[in-house]
Amino acid sequence: MMSGKGLLEVQDLCTYFPINKGVLRQKVGEVKAVDHINISIDQGETLGIVGESGCGKSTLGRSILGLIKPTSGHVIFKGEDVTNMDSKRSRGMRQQMQIVFQDPFASLNPRMLVEDIIAEPLRIHESGLSSNELQSRVEQMLELVGIESDAANRYPHEFSGGQRQRISIARALIMNPEFIFLDEPVSALDVSVRSQVLNLIRNLQKDLGLTYLFISHDLSVVRHISDRVGVMYLGTIVELASKNQLFNNPLHPYTKALMSAIPIANPNIPINRIILEGDIPSPANPPSGCRFHTRCPNVRKDCDKTDMLNRMIEVERDHYVSCLLYK
Amino acid sequence: MSKLLEVKNLQTCFYSKDKKIVSAINDVNFSIKKGETLGIVGESGCGKSVTALSILQLIQPHSGMITQGEILLNGQDLLKLNEKKMQQIRGNQISMIFQEPMTSLNPSFTIGYQLIGPIRLHRRCSRNDAYDYAVSMLNMVGIASPEQRMKEYPHQLSGGMRQRVMIAMALSCEPELLIADEPTTALDVTIQAQILELMKQLQEKLQMSIILITHDMGVVMGMCDNIAIMYAGNVIEFADKYQIFNYPKHPYTKGLLSSIPSLDYDVDVLNTIPGIVPSISNMPSGCKFSPRCQHALPICKQSQPKSIEAGKDHSVSCWLYEQEGGES
């Protein structure tokens, strides 16, 4: 479906979580958090994924990194399938794929010095390093993310949210990864600090040639940082396009509703909202056919019967949408 | 239109760990007219929520107190009322909804029980009347099959539904003023749009005023008439939303507006405000924004600027305009 020369290719990836009930904990169902997803990310590119809470964006990222074992499907990183690697080789591969978590207050161990937090990946993957070497690598990283080097001997609680997120980024960068999964890295930050961190993330990409998978529920942040954007709804990608195509010409009714729902910080623009009815259905029991048909303002009579899973229609060049309206 | 609520020179202090007194908000002034929506915007820790809690006098006595100022509701100073009279104001005339709908509902009681309680307290009616009234409130906030929901517990509802229940509860005594403290921050954008739309409709129907507290510039611009920008415990700028957006005066307001990425066009590097928000126990002297301000003058570090009129109904606390005004 998409060009075959990506740094990272996700093929038909599914991650289902079992629902166990009763004394014997028998499996009574599944939550289809990620359902038959195909994406590819090119070298040096940022792919943004947007969607509401519970749509499976974080599970997608974690399945790609192998932090959650996918149920089926393949993740191909630099031509090698990382889903079924033995643990020794996947360990080597993981050095090149790193993660930055959402909440900088929860993702840094409060009892470790900043120096130890940043050096921990090095201690694991390159165990032969002397303490001097470790220290100089940590200092390099701190400089790279714009934190003064005396921070190394302090604890995370001494830092503000923005600085902590910089420390998280330093920890992700110390193994010189090629691919970083950024899981809502600025959602917990205040507006004035958020733009500082966004600029840092962008500059690092330019300087180090990084490839990002950037997840957020904030469309304006995704537009700022991404090259291409995918919109997720209930475990599936409903639309995937370059950011200009997506923002100038959204096609899927869900994308349109999502965009119109964003509050715009400009009172001069008239508000023209598409208000969706109801809540997101439970992913344990997703609607039949197109998963969005229960809330869709443009629903047709066969939307609930035709399975749209994994059916992406290329409406214009590199602009894919999973919707019967465009068939 | 007459002023419904007027807050004058409000100061609220808290006791810090080492028994010192630190002020969380200082010299806060704003007013709101009947039927109007006022937005209070600022970053975390700037005193937005403390302002709201002070209006309702919900500051815990052992943690802090209101040390100065007046809060006039229809001309009556709320700070002079005793606790019993204040109890009648809360809920009846001023009501509040909180950010986290899960933590503000009691998980061990049904929705019905929690709705009927305040209705009976304030309206002094029978249990059956209160039940019917609660069902009609749930209907009004757009909850489907309200009788069923009355029997359910908070965990059985989604975030958006819980917030609707909170709104129903807050509006059940038809208050003149609703204070909404980050009502949609915990919700998804499509649900946020539903709730904001609901608040607007109900405001029109019930002719009430709303104070909307948020950090999201987009939400205020869509909802409010007037905006108060807060920074480190002070209202630094106050004007209607068009003034704030088109002609922002304070360097912090300008920085805040320009650091939001746009949905319509691309910028290579986002504008940033250098530095971080100061903590309340370690405030800089003079203007509290001066260490982060690019236009800081020597006087900014020495004394705090007073709020001055920088245009019609547009006030700003900044030395840059004080001097301008003095010269011309």
Best probe of the B interface among A46, A201, A266, by most B CBs < 10 A, is: A266
pLDDT exceeds 70 at position A41: yes
Q: Give the model's pLDDT for residue B63.
A: 87
How does the average pLDDT of chain A come out, rounded? 89
Q: Give the model's pLDDT for residue A210.
A: 95
Residues 6+ apart with CB under 8 A from A301: none
Q: Give the model's pLDDT for residue B1.
A: 56
Strand ranges for chain A from DSSP E: 8-21, 26-41, 46-50, 72-77, 80-81, 97-100, 179-183, 211-216, 228-233, 236-242, 313-316, 319-321
Contact A160 B276 (CB under 8 A): yes
Contact A191 B43 (CB under 8 A): yes
Nearest CA in chain B to A295: B190
Q: Is the dihedral of CA B243, B245, B249, B252 positive or negative?
A: positive
β-partners of residue B180 are B97, B212
Of A280-284, B15-19, B221-225, where does the model show the most confidence?
B221-225
What are the tens digits of pLDDT across the range B183-197? 888 788 888 888 899
Three-class SS state of A254:
helix
A81, A117, A56: which is closest to A286 by C-alpha?
A56
ipTM of the complex: 0.78
Percent of chain B with pLDDT over 70: 98
CB A188 within 8 A of CB A182: no
* Among the ranges given (A1-15, B160-174, B242-256, B286-300), the one the predictor scored with the smallest mean pLDDT: A1-15
What are the tens digits of pLDDT across the range A60-86? 999 999 899 999 999 999 888 888 888
pLDDT exceeds 50 at position B43: yes
Three-class SS state of A88:
helix
Contact A261 B192 (CB under 8 A): yes
Q: What is the mean pLDDT of residues A27-39?
A: 89
Nearest chain B CA: its distance from A264 CA (Å)? 4
What are the tens digits of pLDDT across the range B59-96? 888 888 999 999 999 999 999 999 999 988 998 899 99
DSSP A268: T
What are the tens digits of pLDDT across the range A218-276? 888 899 999 999 999 999 999 999 999 999 999 999 999 998 888 888 888 877 788 88
How does the average pLDDT of chain B come out, rounded? 88
Three-class SS state of A273:
coil
Interface check B257 vs A, CB under 8 A: yes
pLDDT exceeds 90 at position B140: no
CB-CB neighbors (< 8 A) of B267 in chain A: 224
A6, A95, A30, A99: which is closest to A61 by C-alpha?
A99
Contact A261 B190 (CB under 8 A): yes
CA distance B235 to B232: 9
CB-CB neighbors (< 8 A) of B241 in chain A: 267
Nearest CA in chain B to A187: B185
Residue B135 structure tokens: 């069902």
CA distance B229 to B41: 5
Nearest chain A CA: its distance from B280 CA (Å)? 14
CA distance A284 to B303: 60
Interface check B247 vs A, CB under 8 A: no
Residue B285 structure tokens: 């002297």
pLDDT exceeds 50 at position B214: yes
CA distance A78 to A256: 34
Q: What 3 state SS string does chain B have? A: CCEEEEEEEEEEEEECCCCCEEEEEEEEEEEEECCCEEEEECCCCCCHHHHHHHHCCCCCCCCEEEEEEEEEECCEEHHHCCHHHHHHHECCCEEEECCCHHHHCCCCCCHHHHHHHHHHHHHCCCHHHHHHHHHHHHHHCCCCCHHHHHCCCHHHCCHHHHHHHHHHHHHCCCCCEEEEECCCCCCCHHHHHHHHHHHHHHHHHHCCEEEEEECCHHHHHHHCCEEEEEECCEEEEEEEHHHHHHCCCCHHHHHHHHCCCCCCCCCCCCCCCCCCCCCCCCCCCCCCCHHHCCCCCHHHHCCCCCCEECCCCCEECCHHHHHHHHHC
pLDDT band at residue B16, thresholds of 50, 70 and 90? Answer: confident
Contact B261 A223 (CB under 8 A): yes
Residues 6+ apart with CB under 8 A from A105: A161, A164, A188
Share in percent of chain A as helix, strand, coil (round to 5): 35, 25, 45
**Facing B263 at nearest CB: one of A217, A219, A267:** A219
Q: Give the model's pLDDT for residue B324.
A: 56
What are the tens digits of pLDDT across the range B119-134? 998 888 899 999 999 9
Q: What is the mean pLDDT of residues A299-308?
A: 83
Rg (CA), chain A: 21
Contact B44 A190 (CB under 8 A): yes
B223, B198, B202: which is closest to B212 by C-alpha?
B223
Contact A263 B272 (CB under 8 A): no
Ordered strands of the B64-73 beta sheet: B21-33, B3-15, B64-73, B76-77
Nearest CA in chain A to B188: A52
Taking the alpha carbons at both ends of chain B, their separation in whole angstroms is: 33
Provide the whole-model pTM: 0.84
Contact A263 B218 (CB under 8 A): yes
Q: Give the model's pLDDT for residue B328.
A: 35
Residue A299 structure tokens: 């629903």
Interface check B1 vs A, CB under 8 A: no
Q: Give the model's pLDDT for residue B327.
A: 39
Burial (0-12, 13-18, 19+ Cβ within 10 Å), A172: buried
Q: Give the model's pLDDT for residue B52.
A: 92
What are the tens digits of pLDDT across the range B232-269? 999 999 999 999 999 999 999 999 888 888 777 777 78
